[in-house]
Every structure is written in structure tokens, then in C-alpha cells.
């Protein structure tokens, strides 16, 4: 037992390193994190006489995607560097924006961060650089998430339609069926707890994007603004829906029905592997992430299944999104037109897309893949052959109508993390947390020169 | 010693008087030449960035409305900013507990290692010093695993007695969890400094003390500790400065407990968040200087109250 957990620990440590780095020669790449230095590519550039466009990204299969692109292109070659995943990359990009130099030409960013960088004029509107040619490849909803006003600030690659991943073994043991509403979710959690079972889910302070999505699911509209007048913004973070959702999760945590572990940590992953959590409220990219972290490979093989996200009102279901990224062209790009070619072409070829969805690294937004029967009918091995795309993720993605994100996403998420932490330790209620987040973020917005409505 | 220097200075003066201008000029040049390499690096890598940061801290950059000169506005904001103040309060509390603890442990270890000479003490000396040789980041990651409920030994140890292991990542216990990490890391280093000072004491003093009938305890308390007081003062100042600038350990453990360790947990972390995550370099610089001011005041006050002890500064 001891030995096994030690091996798990070692494997997880390695996995954590791999997630954080996603690149074997991370030392080399971070040392050359200055974006425009073509000599620091992680990939080998095949056609050396072509102009080079630099790119930052962290998809686990970026190497293959970049190689595929470089092989096909006769105009431009991509020089790829992995400077870290999510927040780590954004911090570096943010610093490069402030410094006015050091950013790459093309950057992978999550859709919810686009307004944050757009308002600083760090991204280029690529509508005039070949948008019409690829417009039909993505749904209107996908374009909406990467557009502000009439301008397009990114090319969608993957989406994160949310669903409920659950452990079949635990559900069978305690004789419960996947809850369809959040009320049923709580009842099921109580039932499992009363029977001495494991935690039903997890409230992680470090995943505020999930809380935001769940609040939006109940009808919250955190931000409203007219891109033509960015200085005037509506902030509604403590409306009834937002309070209800925070209270709901705060109560689940207080009653001991869900855990309060930070997610994406070795501790959490080991909990998932060992069946400590009956459900994982997450997005379509989660199976790929979990597989990469070592979940579903040992004793827990074939124990996972997925069901649609529980609803507040089963009669009027609402689908939401977590994560999902795009390729954007930065305003530091030396040749925006060439960079836009890369942004449009990268991860858009069949070979890369197929690799992405068969390995569950991405939930593709490219309609070539999304409408491909092979993709829709795929029997997902992580879910023990369940046709997860057909049953859950594709309907969720099709029902998704887009969300409006914040132009100061980093501050908003930091504030949420802090207050969710306070809800977890029991010092405030969810409703109080919502009030504090509202006050905190509204003050920040005013300080930054916005007129808050 | 002083006499010699005075003599040579006096003779230099005489010579200078004789030959006057030329030599003095050459000596001046030589002096600057020797100081030059250091001076350039010092100016370029320390003074210039500091001056630039000070300059930055007097401005304010907004997402809407651009950059404005606000003079001390950022400082006024910092000293009324609850996040900054709670961070300062945290590191002050932390210093009050962590520093005495580290010094007591380091002093006790140094006295033992100094008094008892055996293979075992030499081995212990190395072992106590070892944590300092581990980079703080690695140390923090390691303790992250040791505190873990799934991977750490705490669950098993407390399980033996049928108790639940404390969660050092919870809001109530993170303070002690961090005290433990810092003490583990630094006590050995301070011990080595104190040990070196103890080794510098003339052993004939001990002999004289023994002749006068002093026991081991009396030697330790009345001779050793007073004689290494300057070294004690030195490590107190070092640890005070280091602890007020607390950054590495909480920043690393944040990846495991983001809800407990907020971005503004310590003033330095707050400066980092403002500058690098929120692109607020101006306010970040102001926080850094405000923290620098607090450190200066703390250290100055400390030295003022201990000034009788023939200070090293």
C-alpha cells in the first residue's frame, strides 16, 4: 500500500511537472521566453528560407500541430515556444505588453482572456486578413467568443462545453443515477454521505472560471459593455443568481458533501484516481487532461462516465463553457498579415484536428471535425466506450450561446479565488462572498478609469 | 593596527605634500580605476533600477485614461489599502514568531556543536546546515508534499493515534506550516554563522573562567553568548529583512492552496501580482518602496534599541 502510493506520488509529481511545462526542454524555452527570438524555437524549422512567425502555446500536441503546419506551408514557418500554461503564460504576455517588446507574433489564449488583452490594444483585429475564407469553418457562437464588437481577435480552436464526469463504480455502489438538476445533485450527495461514501464533488478555490460559468448557467450576467464605449461597463457579480450559486456550493462544502481541494494539484488528481470524488464538474477537455495526469490507467480504468451538466431548471436547460482557446495575433507582430495566416491555419488541418480529438486533447470547434461522424460517434476509451461526444458534449456545445467576459479577468478571478477561499474556511457565506467580489471588482474598475453602472 | 594605518597615512600625506599635484591626481585616478568596475555594475544594476522604480511609483496607469503623474498618490493608496496592510501585518506577526524561534534553535545548536566535539556532532552540524543548501523553491515543493493528506506522512502518523492530521494548508494553520518551513530552511544557516563566531573566541578565556570556578552553563551564558552578540545581532537583522520580504515559500505553496494564500498574502507577493499579473507596474513599484520603507524603519528601530552592543554596522 505504502509502496503503491509512493509510486503514485512519484508519477503524479512527474505528471505535474509535465502539465506545468508541457515541454521536455522547458529550461531552454523559458530561458528564451522573449517572443521574437527565432533561435529559441522548441520545434525544428523545416524550410529555413521562409519567413518565421513566433508562437506561444501549451496544447500537449503542439509539436505535432506546428510540424504539420510547417510541412504544408510554403509561405511561412512557425517557431513555437511553450512559456507555461494559462496564468503563467498570461503573466509573461502581460509583462511583454507593458515592456512593449518580447511578445510573440501569435499567442494561444483562452477565450475569456481576450477582452483583458484587447482593451490594452495588445491584440490585432484579423478580420481583414482572410476571415471570410474560414468563416464557414466555425459556428457563430464560436466566433462570438473571440469577437468584440465587429472585430475578430482570435481564431477558435477548442471549446470547453461543461458536463458532469462521474464514477460509475461509486454511482452503482450507492445506487444513484446521474442527477439532472442541482437539487438532485445535492440529494445524491447527501445520500452517498449518509451511506458513508466518498465526497460527491469538489469546490476548488483555484478554479474561479467554473464558478463563473455555473453562475452564468443560473442566469447571471457578470459583465455588460458596449465595445464601442469600453470605458463604461456594467458589473453585476452579486445578483441573486450569483449569490445562489456561491451559497449552494458553500453549503455543500459546509455540510461536508463536497471537498474543498484546489484542483489541478497532485492532491486532487490522486483523489480522483482513488475514488475520493464521485463527480467532477468539468469541461470537454478534462478527459485528455486527466489521462495525461495518470487518471483512468490503473485500477480506475473504465470507471468513468459522463452525463450532461445538472440544471437549475430542467425544463429550460442552459449550457456553459469552461476554457477553450484560440490563436490570436499580437500587436507586436512584425507582419500581422503573415501572423494571421498562421493563426488561421494552425490546428485547422485534418491531421492535427484528428490527433487532437482522438487523444481527447481538444474538443474541436472547427466544423470539419465537429461534424465528422467519426468524431461524433467516437467511443471514448476514457469513458469506457461511452459515446460521450454524441450523448453529452456535442449537444452541450450546440446549445451554448456564448458569454461576455471581463476586460480585467485576472483581477476578477483573483478576487473570486480569495473569497471562495473564505467561503471554504467558513468565515463568510456565499452571498457575502458575492457582495465582497462585487465591491472589490467594482472598486478596481473605477480605479482603472471605468464608469461602473 | 590602527597605529600602523595612521603612520602610513601620515607618511603618504608627507609625500603628497612634497610632490603635490601630479601624484595626487594619479592616486585619484588609480582609486577610481579600482572602484570603477564595481561602481559601474553597482550603478547599472542596483541604483538605476531603483531610481527607475521610484520614478514609476510616482505615476498611475489606468486601462481607461492612460498614464498620469500622481506624485505620492500610490503611497497614500498603499498605506490605506487593506490588502497591503494585512500583508504587512502578516509578515510582522510572522517575524515576531519565526525569528526568535530560529535564533533560539540556531543558538542552542551552535552551543552544543561548539561544546561537544565528536563524530556525531560533526555529522549533525552538516545535517542541520543541509536544508540551507536546498533551494527555497525545492524546499517549499517538498514541504508541500509532506503536508499533503494523500502523500505526506502526517495522515499515517496521526492515524496511529486515531486522530485526524492537521491541514497545514487551511487558513488557521498555514501560519505555522510556513513557520516550520522557514525555520527548517534557515536555522542551520544561522547556526553556522554563530558556530563560526564561537570558534573565533580565544579558548584561554574559558580556561580563565574555569580557574575562577565557572561551570559549563556559566561559560555558555556569561562568556560565549556575550562574545558572539555581534554575530547574533547580524543574523537578527538578516532574518528581519528576509522575513519582511517573505515571498518564495508562500508563492510556491499558492499552487497547492490558492484559496488560503491569496495573491496579496505578503507585501512582496502583492507587489508581484500588481506588477506582473495586473500590469500595474506603478502601484507594484510603490508597494515595493513602501515595503522597503517599513523594512528600513524596523531595522533602524531594532538597531537603535540594541545600540549598546557595540554594533557591527
DSSP notation for A197-244: --B-EE--TT-HHHHHHHHHHTT---EEE-TTSTTEEEE-SSSHHHHH
Chain A residues with beta carbon closer than 8 angstroms to that of B279: 94-95, 97-98, 120
pLDDT at A38 over 70: no
Say if residue A429's pLDDT is above 80.
Answer: yes
Cell numbers at residue A231, please?
470605458
Which member of B63, B150, B259 has the closest CB to residue A205?
Answer: B259
- What pLDDT was estimated at residue A189? 96
The answer to whether the CB of B181 falls within 8 A of the CB of B94 is no
Contacts of residue B257, Cβ cutoff 8 Å, sequence gap at least 6:
A262, B169, B174
pLDDT tens digits, one per residue of A290-323: 888 888 888 888 899 999 999 999 999 999 989 8
Mind telling me how many Å the CA of A430 is from chain B's nearest CA? 14
- For residues A104 and A34, what is the distance between their CA atoms, to the nearest angstrom? 8
Residue A11 pLDDT class (50, 70, 90 cuts): very low
User: pLDDT tens digits for A52-93?
Assistant: 999 999 998 899 999 999 999 999 999 999 998 888 899 999
Question: In the CATH scheme, what architecture does the domain A161-320+405-452 have?
Answer: 3-Layer(aba) Sandwich (3.40)
Of B172, B258, B262, the CB nearest to A262: B258
Domain with CATH 1.10.3720.10 in chain B: 74-306
Q: What percent of chain B has pLDDT over 90?
A: 57
Helix (H) or strand (E) holding A147: strand A147-148
Choice between B198 and A361, residue whose per-residue pLDDT is larger: B198
Nearest Cα to B248, choosing from B103, B143, B97? B143
CATH dotted code for A5-159+323-393? 3.40.190.10
Q: Cα(A215)–Cα(A245) distance, rounded to whole angstroms? A: 6
Nearest CA to CA, how far is A176 from chain B (Å)?
27
| pLDDT of A4 above 70 | no
Confidence at A14, pLDDT banded by 50, 70, 90: very low
- Is the pLDDT confidence value at B312 over 60? no
pLDDT confidence band for B164 (50 / 70 / 90): confident
- Tell me the C-alpha distance between A438 and A425, whole Å: 20
pLDDT at A37: 52
Mean predicted lDDT score pLDDT of chain B: 87
Residues 6+ positions from A344 with CB-CB distance below 8 Å: A126, A129, A130, A133, A134, A155
Tell me, what's the pLDDT at B283?
94
Helix axes A62-72, A336-345, angle to 10 degrees: 120
Residues across chain A: 453
Q: In what order do the strands lie in the sheet with A223-225?
A: A223-225, A232-235, A451-452
Pick from B65, B256, B281: CB nearest A265:
B256
Which residue among A407, A411, A425 places its CB closest to the CB of B171?
A425
Q: How far apart are CA A340 and CA A125, in angstroms?
A: 9
Say yes or no to pLDDT of B130 above 50: yes
Q: Shortest CA distance to B252 belongs to which of B137, B82, B89?
A: B137
For A205, the closest of B151, B258, B281 (CB atoms) is B258
| CB contacts, 8 Å: A408 with chain B | 63, 278
> What is the per-residue pLDDT for B8?
56
What is the least distance, in Å, from the CA of A57 to any CA of chain B?
A: 18
CA dihedral A267, A271, A273, A274 (to 10 degrees): 130
How far is residue B228's CA from residue A180's CA, in Å, rounded to a whole number? 71
Assess whether pLDDT exceeds 90 at residue B194.
Answer: yes
Q: Which of residues 375-434 of A touch B (CB under 8 A)?
A: 407-408, 410-411, 414, 417-418, 420-422, 424-425, 427
Quick check: A260 and B259 CB within 8 A? yes
For chain B, say whether A30 makes contact (Cβ under 8 Å). Answer: no
The pLDDT tens digits of the residues spanning A156-204 come to 999 999 999 999 999 999 999 999 999 999 999 999 999 999 999 999 9
Is B293:B113 a contact under the CB 8 Å cutoff?
no
- Enumerate the residues of chain A whose CB falls inside 8 A of the CB of residue B171: 421, 425, 427
A226 touches chain B (CB under 8 A): no
For the cut 50, the answer to whether the pLDDT of residue A20 exceeds it is no
Quick check: B176 contacting A, CB < 8 Å? Answer: no
The gap from C-alpha A221 to its chain's centroid, in whole angstroms, comes to 19
What pLDDT does residue B57 have? 93
- E-strand stretches of A352-447: 363-364
Q: What is the pLDDT of residues B232-247, one digit of tens each?
A: 998 999 999 999 999 9
- Would you place residue A35 in the very low, low, confident or very high pLDDT band (cuts 50, 70, 90)? very low
For residue A109, give the H/E element and its range. strand A106-110
* Nearest-CA distance B277 → chain A (Å): 5
Return d(Cα B242, Cα B103) in angstroms, integer. Answer: 14
Count CA within 13 A, CB hemisphere, residue B198: 22
Answer yes or no: is pLDDT of A237 > 90.
Answer: yes
Task: Tell me what the mean pLDDT of segment B204-225 comes to.
Answer: 90
- Which pLDDT score is estimated for A225? 83
A positions 228-267 inside 8 Å of B (CB): 230-231, 260, 262, 265-267
pLDDT bracket for residue A6 (50, 70, 90): very low
Residue that wins the pLDDT comparison between A22 and A424 = A424
**Comparing B21 with B73, which gets the higher pLDDT?**
B73
Percent of chain B with pLDDT over 70: 92
Is the distance from CB of A250 to CB of A423 less than 8 angstroms? yes
Positive or negative torsion for Cα A250, A251, A255, A259: negative
Could you give the CA distance from residue B111 to residue B105 in angstroms, rounded to a whole number?
10
With cut-offs at 50, 70 and 90, classify the pLDDT of residue A26.
very low
| Shortest CA distance from B66: residue in chain A | A449
Question: Cα–Cα distance between A79 and A70 in angstroms, integer?
Answer: 9
pLDDT at A407: 86
Cβ separation A414–B281 shorter than 8 A:
no
Q: Tell me the C-alpha distance between B39 and B41, whole Å.
A: 6
Minimum mean pLDDT range among A68-77, A399-408, B29-38: A399-408
**Nearest beta carbon to residue B276 from set A94, A425, A427:** A94
Continuous segment of H or E residues that includes residue A270: helix A266-273
**Chain-centre distance of CA B26, in angstroms?**
41
Interval B118-122 mean pLDDT:
82
What string of DSSP letters covers B251-267? HHHTTT-TTTS-TTSSH
Indicate the pTM of the whole model: 0.84
Q: What pLDDT does residue B150 have?
A: 84
CATH number for the domain formed by residue range(s) B74-306: 1.10.3720.10
C-alpha cell at B242: 528576509
- CA dist A392 and A308 (Å) reads 5
Which residue in B63, B151, B263 is closest to A449 by CB distance?
Answer: B63
Domain ranges for chain A: 5-159+323-393, 161-320+405-452
Chain A, nearest residue to B255 by Cα = A265
Give me the half-sphere count of Cα atoms (radius 13 Å) on the Cβ side of residue A145: 30
Q: How many residues does chain B have?
A: 313
Amino acid at each position: 500500500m505504502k509502496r503503491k502510493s509512493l509510486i503514485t506520488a512519484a508519477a503524479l509529481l512527474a505528471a505535474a511537472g509535465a502539465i506545468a511545462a508541457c515541454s521536455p526542454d522547458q529550461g531552454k524555452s523559458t530561458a528564451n521566453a522573449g517572443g521574437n527570438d527565432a533561435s529559441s524555437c522548441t520545434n525544428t524549422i523545416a524550410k529555413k528560407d521562409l519567413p518565421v512567425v513566433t508562437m506561444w502555446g501549451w496544447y500537449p500536441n503542439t509539436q505535432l500541430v506546428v510540424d504539420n503546419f510547417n510541412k504544408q506551408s510554403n509561405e511561412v514557418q512557425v517557431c513555437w515556444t511553450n512559456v507555461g500554461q494559462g496564468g503563467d503564460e498570461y503573466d509573461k504576455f502581460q509583462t511583454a505588453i507593458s515592456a512593449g517588446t518580447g511578445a510573440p507574433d501569435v499567442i494561444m489564449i483562452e477565450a475569456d482572456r481576450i477582452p483583458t488583452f484587447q482593451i490594452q490594444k495588445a491584440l490585432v483585429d484579423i478580420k481583414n486578413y482572410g476571415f471570410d475564407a474560414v468563416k464557414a469553418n466555425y459556428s457563430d457562437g464560436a466566433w462570438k467568443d473571440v469577437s468584440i464588437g465587429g472585430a475578430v481577435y482570435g481564431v477558435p480552436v477548442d471549446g470547453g462545453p461543461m458536463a458532469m464526469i462521474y464514477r460509475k463504480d461509486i454511482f452503482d455502489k450507492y445506487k444513484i443515477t446521474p442527477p439532472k438538476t442541482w437539487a438532485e445533485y445535492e440529494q445524491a450527495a447527501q445520500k452517498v454521505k449518509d451511506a458513508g461514501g466518498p465526497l460527491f464533488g469538489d469546490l476548488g478555490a483555484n478554479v474561479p472560471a467554473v464558478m463563473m460559468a455555473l453562475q452564468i448557467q443560473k442566469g447571471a450576467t457578470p459583465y455588460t459593455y458596449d465595445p464601442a464605449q469600453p470605458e463604461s461597463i456594467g458589473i453585476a457579480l452579486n445578483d441573486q443568481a450569483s449569490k445562489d450559486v456561491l451559497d449552494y456550493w458553500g453549503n455543500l462544502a459546509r455540510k461536508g458533501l463536497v471537498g474543498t481541494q484546489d484542483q489541478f494539484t497532485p492532491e486532487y488528481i490522486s483523489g480522483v484516481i482513488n475514488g475520493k470524488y464521485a463527480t467532477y464538474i468539468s469541461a470537454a477537455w478534462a478527459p485528455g487532461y486527466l489521462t495525461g495526469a495518470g487518471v483512468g490507467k490503473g485500477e480506475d480504468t473504465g470507471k468513468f462516465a459522463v452525463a450532461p451538466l445538472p440544471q437549475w431548471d430542467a425544463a429550460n436547460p442552459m449550457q456553459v463553457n469552461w476554457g477553450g482557446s484560440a490563436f490570436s495575433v499580437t500587436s507586436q507582430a512584425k507582419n500581422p498579415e503573415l501572423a494571421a495566416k498562421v493563426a488561421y491555419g494552425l490546428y485547422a488541418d485534418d491531421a492535427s484536428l484528428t490527433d487532437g480529438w482522438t487523444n481527447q486533447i481538444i474538443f474541436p470547434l472547427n466544423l470539419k471535425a465537429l461534424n465528422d461522424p467519426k468524431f461524433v460517434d467516437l467511443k471514448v476509451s476514457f469513458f469506457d466506450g461511452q459515446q460521450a461526444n454524441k450523448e453529452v458534449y456535442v449537444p452541450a456545445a450546440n446549445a451554448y450561446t456564448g458569454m461576455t467576459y471581463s476586460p480585467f479577468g485576472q483581477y476578477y478571478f483573483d478576487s473570486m479565488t480569495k473569497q471562495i477561499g473564505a467561503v471554504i474556511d467558513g468565515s463568510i457565506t456565499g452571498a457575502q462572498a458575492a457582495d465582497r467580489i462585487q465591491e472589490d471588482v467594482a472598486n478596481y474598475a473605477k480605479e482603472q478609469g471605468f464608469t461602473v453602472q | 593596527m590602527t597605529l600602523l594605518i595612521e603612520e602610513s597615512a601620515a607618511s603618504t600625506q608627507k609625500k603628497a605634500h612634497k610632490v603635490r599635484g601630479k601624484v595626487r591626481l594619479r592616486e585619484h585616478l588609480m582609486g577610481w580605476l579600482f572602484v570603477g568596475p564595481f561602481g559601474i555594475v553597482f550603478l547599472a544594476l542596483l541604483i538605476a533600477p531603483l531610481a527607475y522604480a521610484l520614478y514609476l511609483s510616482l505615476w498611475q496607469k489606468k486601462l481607461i485614461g492612460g498614464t498620469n503623474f500622481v506624485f505620492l498618490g500610490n503611497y497614500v493608496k498603499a498605506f490605506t489599502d487593506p490588502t497591503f496592510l494585512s500583508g504587512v501585518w502578516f509578515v510582522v506577526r510572522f517575524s515576531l514568531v519565526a525569528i526568535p524561534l530560529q535564533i533560539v534553535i540556531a543558538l542552542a545548536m551552535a552551543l552544543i556543536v561548539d561544546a561537544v566535539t565528536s563524530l556525531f556532532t560533526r555529522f549533525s552540524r552538516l545535517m542541520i546546515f543541509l536544508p540551507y543548501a536546498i533551494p527555497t523553491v525545492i524546499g517549499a515543493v517538498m514541504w508541500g508534499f509532506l503536508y499533503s493528506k494523500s502523500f505526506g506522512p502526517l495522515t499515517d502518523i496521526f492515524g496511529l493515534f486515531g486522530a485526524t492530521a492537521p491541514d497545514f494548508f487551511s487558513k488557521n494553520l498555514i501560519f505555522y506550516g510556513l513557520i516550520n518551513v522557514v525555520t527548517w530552511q534557515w536555522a542551520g544557516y544561522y547556526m553556522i554563522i554563530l558556530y563560526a563566531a564561537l570558534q573565533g573566541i580565544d579558548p584561554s578565556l574559558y580556561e580563565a573562567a574555569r580557574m575562577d570556578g565557572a561551570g559549563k552553563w556559566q561559560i555558555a551564558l556569561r562568556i560565549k553568548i556575550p562574545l558572539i552578540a555581534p554575530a547574533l545581532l547580524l543574523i537578527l537583522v538578516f532574518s528581519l529583512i528576509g522575513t519582511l520580504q517573505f515571498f518564495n515559500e508562500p508563492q510556491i505553496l499558492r499552487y497547492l492552496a490558492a484559496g488560503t494564500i491569496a495573491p496579496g498574502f505578503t507585501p512582496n507577493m502583492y507587489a508581484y501580482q500588481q506588477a506582473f499579473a495586473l500590469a500595474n507596474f506603478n502601484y507594484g513599484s510603490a508597494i515595493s518602496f513602501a515595503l522597503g520603507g517599513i523594512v528600513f524603519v524596523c531595522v533602524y528601530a531594532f538597531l537603535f534599541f540594541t545600540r549598546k552592543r557595540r554594533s557591527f554596522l
